[in-house]
Amino acid sequence: MIVKDEFLSRLRKIFDLNLYEVKVWTALLSRGTSTAGELSNISDVPRSRTYDILESLEKKGFIVMKLGKPIKFVALKPEEVVERVKKNLMQAAKDRSKRLETLKGDEVLSELNTLFTKGIKFVEPSDLSGSLRGRQNLYNHLDMMVRDAEKTITIITTAEGLNRKLEALLPSLEKCKKRGVKIRIAAPIDNNNIKVAKALKKVAEVKNLEKMKARFVVIDSNQLMFMLLDDEKFHPNYDIGIWINTEFFAQALEQLFDLAWKEMKAVK
């Protein structure tokens, strides 16, 4: 059986399988039903690994073991596999979420916080910096920064970025608003995001950014994250952000923004 490497690579990413798993699975799909030995020969997977791989695929909902001798394995319809994998992922995520929730009152979390608190005392504020790759990672870190805000949040983004901010940050921004945190958001406003801009007005001052194209966030005038790439030209997976804990740079950038903020028009 010949299956292109590109196709196997796509299956690995989509279904989160390793190379042996996709080889055995596609081999079984091509046969409908087969023994472990036959699948080893077809897929070029070592016989010593084939049983482990088949057991793994069965647990993940890709195949079914047929009773009898010799033991055979039956392929499921791809549509059925998709549904089973979805259900398994949702259940696994639910179980992990429950376990993490129980940590809130557990001594394990207390010990972890103790370790972090002791360790952070030896770190210079300027050393608290790093780069983040992938838009999901960027927004996870941005959400953490927003949740920790005590006084001010300044967000400068693109037209499409404004739409993303509503979806990713609104719950945390609402909590900050209730705590009295001053929130300012600037972005180009057009017909595609005017509704989002008005929705964000519930938690922030929102103004139309016409003369500048930038993507950065300043928290409490000491934490800064700025994105290096144009979000219109690069895939989200390649987005890059730089996070810095620097009062000197953050305050300077915010002062420059204050001058531009006065010239911007508020969203009505």
> What pLDDT is attached to residue 232?
86
Return the closest-CA partner of residue 25 out of 93, 69, 82, 68: 82
pLDDT tens per residue across span 131-156: 888 998 899 999 989 998 999 999 99
The residues, ordered by sequence, that sit 6+ positions from 80 with a Cβ below 8 Å of its Cβ are none
> What pLDDT is attached to residue 153?
96
Q: Span 53-64, mean pLDDT?
A: 89
pLDDT at residue 125 is higher than 70: no
Any idea of the CA torsion for 210, 211, 213, 215, to the nearest 10 degrees? -70
Q: Which pLDDT score is estimated for 206?
A: 94
State whether residue 246 is helix, strand or coil: coil
Q: By percentage, how much of the chain surpasses pLDDT 90?
A: 37
Q: Give the pairing of strands 182-187 and 223-227.
A: unpaired
pLDDT recorded at residue 84: 84
CA dist 216 and 248 (Å) reads 16
Average pLDDT over every residue of 53-59: 90
Per-residue exposure over 190-224, b if at least 16 CB sit within 10 Å of its own CB, e if not: eeebeebbeebeebbebbbbeeeebbbbbbbbbbb
pLDDT of residue 118: 63
Q: Are strands 152-156 and 129-133 parallel, antiparallel or unpaired?
A: unpaired
Closest CA relative to residue 78, chosen from 22, 40, 9: 22
Q: Which pLDDT band holds residue 116 (cuts at 50, 70, 90)?
A: low
- Rounded percentage of the chain residues whose pLDDT exceeds 70: 93
Domains and CATH numbers, the chain: 5-90 (1.10.10.10), 128-266 (3.30.870.10)
In this structure, the chain runs to a length of 268
Q: What is the rounded CA–CA span in Å between residue 162 and residue 170? A: 11
Tell me the C-alpha distance between 140 and 133, whole Å. 11
The per-residue pLDDT for 128 is 58
Q: Is a pLDDT exceeding 80 seen at residue 105?
A: no
Q: What is the DSSP string of 109-173?
A: HHHHHHHHHHHHTTS-GGG-EEEEESHHHHHHHHHHHHHT-SSEEEEE--HHHHHHHHHHHHHHH
Work out the mean pLDDT of the chain and round it to a whole number: 86
pLDDT tens per residue across span 176-216: 999 999 999 999 999 999 999 999 999 999 999 887 788 99
Amino acid at 225: M
Task: Tell me what pLDDT residue 71 has.
Answer: 86
